Each structure stands twice: as structure tokens, then as C-alpha cells.
Amino acid sequence: MESGCAAVDVCYLTSGSARAAIVIAEGPDFAAVCAEWTAEVSIQAPYSPGQFFRRELPPLRAVLAGAGRLRLIVVDGYVDLDPGGRPGLGAYVHQEFAVPVIGVAKTAFRTATHAIEVSRGGSARPLFVTAAGIPLAEAASLVRAMAGRYRLPDALRRADALARGVVSSS
């Protein structure tokens, strides 16, 4: 896939490994999904507060390895954790893969006061959008426009389900 957009998620398994999932679409609205797959890797780094990216990056590297050149990656979580730019998972993904990254978090993080709240699907609970390599307002608009009638865009819902193994990949 040349120049697609990817939504990714990671699930930690009881076996001690992690399964990452990817959903690739032609455009940032994720209306036309082209491919999806998972990758499972052994977890090397223990959980350490503030170092979440050390556990998440290896499975994301594995699942993104077959994606070809991307023009956007959407992660479940924050890009940065405060207005000063303290890096979250998305910042590390942006740094490593050198493409714009949009972070879509389901819960508020107390220091992420810069995140734009996005309401979707008639839900009273907003999503919290952060970004790197793309203006924050544009990232929020893209999340509003992503396919799906629920609070969480379909591509992220699908990546989550694939990572958890509740559906099989195509």
C-alpha cells in the first residue's frame, strides 16, 4: 500500500506477549479500508510509569513493518501529555516513523489541557485529540470526519478488536 493511512492499537496478552493490529485505508476518513492484519511480539520491557512507549513501540514496529509508506498514523492514546510537549506514545511513533500522527484518547489526562475535545456519535463523552506533524485543529476535524457512527471511529474500533483477538483479520 503506497501512501495509505493507518489506525493501530496494541493489546497485552496473558501469555506475556503483545498483539498489535493495523487497519489501513486509502484516505484519512477511513471510509475505504484496504487491508488489516496483526503482529504478535514478546514483551521485553516491564511496565514503568512514564515509559509506556517502551512496551508499545516494539509491537507497533512489528505491525507497521508491512504497511509500506504511510501518510498518517492514528494511535489510541495521546501524542503529547501536556502543552509543553512532554511526549506520549504518539510523539515516539511520529519520531520513529516520520509521518503525521493523530492521538485519539478515550479518557482525559489531567495535564493534557491542550487536547481538543471531539464529540462523535451523539455521545456525551468526548474523545481527546492530540497530534504531531499536523495542525491540532486539522487533526480534530479529521477525527470528527472519520467513518463510523459511534463515539470511537470505526478504524480504531476495528484495530482494538483485532488486537484483542475478538475478530479475525482479513
Report which residue type is found at 31. A
52: buried, middle or exposed (CB in 10 Å: 19+, 13-18, 0-12)? middle
Give me the tens of pLDDT residue by residue for the chain, a chain 170 residues long. Answer: 457 999 999 999 988 899 999 999 999 999 999 999 999 999 876 666 555 666 789 999 999 998 999 999 999 999 999 999 999 999 999 999 999 999 999 999 999 999 999 999 999 999 999 999 999 999 999 999 999 999 999 999 999 999 999 876 65
Question: Taking the C-alpha atoms of 106, 92, 37 and 48 in order, what is their torsion angle to the nearest 10 degrees?
Answer: -70
Q: What is the pLDDT of residue 170?
A: 57
| Pairwise CA distance, residues 11 & 160, whole Å | 8
Closest CA to 76 of 1, 168, 156: 156
Provide the whole-model pTM. 0.93
Instruction: Assess contact for 4 and 148: CB atoms under 8 A.
Output: no
Assigned fold of 4-164: archaeoglobus fulgidus dsm 4304 fold (3.30.2170)
Closest CA to 103 of 57, 142, 54: 142
Q: What is the pLDDT of residue 47?
A: 61
Extract the C-alpha cell encoding 158: 476495528
| Pairwise CA distance, residues 5 & 112, whole Å | 25
Phi-psi region of 121 (alpha: psi -120 to 50; beta: other; left: phi over 0): left
Closest CA to 8 of 101, 128, 143: 101
Extract the C-alpha cell encoding 14: 496473558
Q: What is the pLDDT of residue 48?
A: 60
124: buried, middle or exposed (CB in 10 Å: 19+, 13-18, 0-12)? exposed
